[in-house]
Chains A and B, each alone.
Chain A
Amino acid sequence: MKNSKYTGLIIAYISFCVVVILVAAAILSGLVGANNTNQMNSILALMSEKLNTSFDMMTDYLKEASDIASASRTDFDVLYEQFSSTSEGKPYKMPYSNIGFVDSEGNIYATEGEKLDIEKYGFGEKALEVDDIYITEPYRSAVTGLNMITLFAPVYGPDISAAKDEALSRRDGPHIVRQKRRLEDDKKIRRGSIFVTYYLETIQGLAYSDVLTDATEIYLVNALSGNYVNCTGTEDSPAGTWGNIRLRKKSIKGINGYDMDEWLENMRNETDDNIINVKEDGEEFTQAFVDIKGMEKWNIVIKIPIKELSTAMSNFTMVMTVAAFAILGATAVLAFVLNRVERKRAKKLEEISVMDPLTKVLNRRGLDEGLENMFPKDDEMLEKKGIYIFLDIDNFKAINDNFGHEGGDKVLKESAEILANYFKDKALVARVGGDEFNLYIYEDMTVAEVDSAMSYVREAFASIKADSHVESGVTFSAGIARYPEDAIGLEELVESADKALYTVKKRGGADHLWYS
């Protein structure tokens, strides 16, 4: 009972530790997830800043060019010659591919190839509808064969060319012309647009980072159409190729509570909830979008394998979990070992408390405990019969005197051994006094069988040698009582057996007698 109490405590302790470890691992995983999100947010913030700063530079350049063109009184064909020649002779490469103009009537001032592109896609007309910077969708250029984007900026100014200016001056005088200019300036007439064309690689380059090479995928994604342009490229899908999210919806699934449809909706609605964890082709990724200033509904999407983001943290979590389980395991082993030691000790103590140390049979306490289990406390009648034997070694004092305590002990030990062996699994055998043995036979034995047992024991006792040389001629006296024939309770049974022994002793001993 005590052992099971300790076992229970150990199990409870181990269970508690397992729960604590699992909770800690879950919390760490959550922290890893939060760390991923934070890292992703930091990466996105940096990329967004890099991208938008670069876009600002592109648009600022164009606005400056637009202001110059707007302030100029020069016709577009002359302006075009001036602007397109600015890159000639320069030691550095201009960041753009082409520069040109479109006037309010749709005439295009650019290279032949550029004209083809502007006309084909109707960019000129679209730009005129916008009173600010207009950025086209990516398109394949006839000039380069590559994906390009073109930025348009409005060009304003008086509706008066230099040639007209000169003609009016001759006719009306310079002061009249100056007055007209001031009036026209106030009107700010849209003369047309200036445009600059960039390689899409430029945008790809803005979003690119050597730090994230190999592991990272970067896309330009249109939130409305679901179209994307692959910026980083793979063997199967080189950089610059188009795709559509619908084709990948079956292979990309949101994980860790994220939903792909919800994320796409967030992209369409331009919310801040821009991060998602996904699984594609068996690998887990964190991906996030950031909108591109100036390209309506276009976003940069960055996709990074989760293991890249969280390798260190995941390793840490794993190491901590393994260490925790190792410690727990060691604790369990220690507890198990201690438990076994304790059980052995307890058994030893138990043995000591109920066993006679000399003869190795039960002592009085042990007999009492055994009988307590067999006889109910309220002296109810047992169904099973039993036989109680009081057995004394005759003249034991003389044996002690003649052979010393050593000899006496030997006699006691061998007597106990004879009784224990004969009555093994049949009776409780106990040494209850110096030379007194009590037995309770719980297995069915008839009177004749008990008599026969007594005869055997008598013979066996007779061959006991107190000093290893001489048979001591040990005899015993025994009183025997039966349950329930001779007594209805244990106390009465013991008393009956004792009385029978007394009678044997009075008659000179070396015999056994049944109570009657």
Chain B
Amino acid sequence: MKRITVAILVLLLILSGCKAKKQEASSGEAIGFELVGEPVEKGKNVYVVLKVLTNQYWQGVVAGLSEAAKDNKCNVYVGACVDEGDWQAQQKLLDEAMEKKADGIIVAPANSTLLSDKLKEIKDSGIPVVLVDTIMNDVSSFDTCYMTDNLSAGSKAAEEMMRLFEENGISKDEKAEIAIQITSTASQTVIDRMAGFNQYWSANAPENWKVLDDIGLNNGNKEKAQQLGLEFAENHKDLKGMFGCNNSSTVGFVKGLEESGRDDIMLVGFDYADETAALIKKDNKTATIVQNQKLMGYKGVERVLELLEGGKSDLKFTDTGAVPVNHSNYAEYEKELEG
């Protein structure tokens, strides 16, 4: 009996450890707040908590924050986590921001549910809360959100795919398959893009142009993403389109396609990685959907300042937009990036 009791206790400990491990997915480490630009005396202090800072996308958000800080003469402090999903580290940063008497807070939430209480606490204390990149499920926990409407962005991707099909001579009577690749089933961003793609495609594409039921799942692994791209290209002779729901999936498709040697497949993806750009420049068979993350950062700061001056939250959600970049407009886009 004693042995059984001990065994049960050990099992419970292990299970509670596992559950705790599941919730505390990451290290809890954060990159502390750094001022972007020059300090402004008597300027409003806006604290920004992002997911990470390590890639081109988030650098774009920071660029927008920085420009808005300069244009509006305020102080913008940016902090982020080491691990992208680390909502607990974000919670700590938010506490720090409140301790530092932030006038306004901008957040890119790593978890759309678990940060709700903290954000409500901040909002109830009179500090405006503006979201960028990701929305919270509880809309009462923030004032406004600036992000890409991923459902809409997915539809744009489908629209772009149809354009590529038509311009490359795929007839409506021809059998054509489209493969989709995603990073994770836990990312609502990616799911929304896939849903948007399917929504547009099912409503507008000819019956013979079918999305494959088998969705490629790469779990964030670059090699797997490439392998999936290759397998789709090699195993589906009627494959005419590939849709990557995010940057890594798109790059995976690009590399897989190159490895397969097939040049009859259209590709639409997300973001503007070097590999994707190279394919876009090559011919009119590739396009990508780019977000306006700089606008998210810029508008976020502007909105905080408006709210601090008594402005009302008329709109909860602003779509910062997503546009296709393809063979006909990539040069223009690259100029914009440089600017």
Which chain B residues lie closer than 8 Å to A242 at the CB level? 151, 188, 191-192, 195
Which chain B residues lie closer than 8 Å to A139 at the CB level? 151
Q: Is A98 an interface residue (CB 8 A)?
A: no
Q: Is B337 an interface residue (CB 8 A)?
A: no
The 8 A CB mask of B151-195 against A (1 = contact, 0 = none) is 110000000000000000000000000001010011010011011
Q: Is B26 an interface residue (CB 8 A)?
A: no
Which chain B residues lie closer than 8 Å to A244 at the CB level? 191, 194-195, 198
Query: Which chain A residue shows the least CB distance to B200?
Result: A225
Number of B residues whose C-beta is below 8 Å from A? 33
Query: Which chain B residue shows the least CB distance to A228?
Result: B195
Contact A120 B152 (CB under 8 A): yes
CA distance A279 to B200 in the complex (A): 30
The 8 A CB mask of A219-253 against B (1 = contact, 0 = none) is 00010111100000001101011111011010000
Q: Is B319 an interface residue (CB 8 A)?
A: yes
Q: Is A143 an interface residue (CB 8 A)?
A: yes
- Shortest Cβ distance from B157 into chain A, in angstroms? 14
Which chain A residues lie closer than 8 Å to B112 at the CB level? 238
- Shortest Cβ distance from A270 into chain B, in angstroms? 15
Which chain B residues lie closer than 8 Å to A140 at the CB level? 135, 149, 151, 317
Q: Is A142 an interface residue (CB 8 A)?
A: yes
CA distance A143 to B112 in the complex (A): 19
Q: Looking at chain B's contact residues, is the secondary structure mostly helix, strand, loop, or mixed?
A: mixed
Contact B317 A141 (CB under 8 A): yes
Q: Is A112 an interface residue (CB 8 A)?
A: yes
Contact A222 B191 (CB under 8 A): no
Interface residues of A in 100-127 (CB under 8 A from B): 112-113, 116, 120-121
Interface residues of A in 126-161 (CB under 8 A from B): 137, 139-146
Please indicate which of the listed interface residues A224, A225, A236, A249 has the most CB atoms of chain B within 10 Å of its own CB. A225
CA distance A314 to B323 in the complex (A): 56
Which chain B residues lie closer than 8 Å to A238 at the CB level? 112-113, 137
CA distance A235 to B137 in the complex (A): 12
Interface residues of B in 286-339 (CB under 8 A from A): 314-319
Which of these, A120, A143, A227, A240, contacts B195 with CB under 8 Å? A227
Which of these, B135, B188, B192, contacts A145 with CB under 8 Å? B135
Q: Is B278 an interface residue (CB 8 A)?
A: no
- Shortest Cβ distance from B226 into chain A, in angstroms? 21
Which chain B residues lie closer than 8 Å to A113 at the CB level? 314-315
Contact A145 B145 (CB under 8 A): yes
CA distance A236 to B188 in the complex (A): 10
Q: Is B40 an interface residue (CB 8 A)?
A: no
Which chain A residues lie closer than 8 Å to B149 at the CB level? 140
Which chain B residues lie closer than 8 Å to A224 at the CB level? 202-203
- Shortest Cβ distance from A390 into chain B, in angstroms? 75
Q: Is B211 an interface residue (CB 8 A)?
A: yes
For the complex with contacts A142-B318, A145-B139, A235-B113, 19 further pairs of A-B residues with Cβ separation under 8 Å are A112-B315, A140-B151, A141-B317, A142-B316, A142-B317, A142-B319, A143-B317, A145-B135, A145-B145, A145-B316, A222-B199, A224-B202, A225-B198, A241-B191, A242-B195, A243-B195, A244-B198, A246-B214, A247-B215
The interface of chain A, by Cβ under 8 A from chain B, is: 112-113, 116, 120-121, 137, 139-146, 222, 224-227, 235-236, 238, 240-244, 246-247, 249
The interface of chain B, by Cβ under 8 A from chain A, is: 112-113, 135, 137, 139, 145, 149, 151-152, 180, 182, 185-186, 188, 191-192, 194-195, 198-199, 201-203, 211, 213-215, 314-319
Task: Give 9 closest A-B pairs by Cβ, nearest first.
Answer: A145-B316, A225-B202, A224-B202, A145-B317, A225-B198, A145-B139, A242-B195, A227-B195, A238-B137
Q: List 23 A-B contacts (CB under 8 A).
A: A139-B151, A140-B149, A140-B151, A141-B317, A142-B318, A142-B319, A143-B315, A143-B316, A144-B316, A144-B317, A225-B201, A225-B203, A227-B199, A238-B112, A241-B188, A242-B192, A243-B191, A246-B180, A246-B211, A246-B215, A247-B182, A247-B185, A247-B191
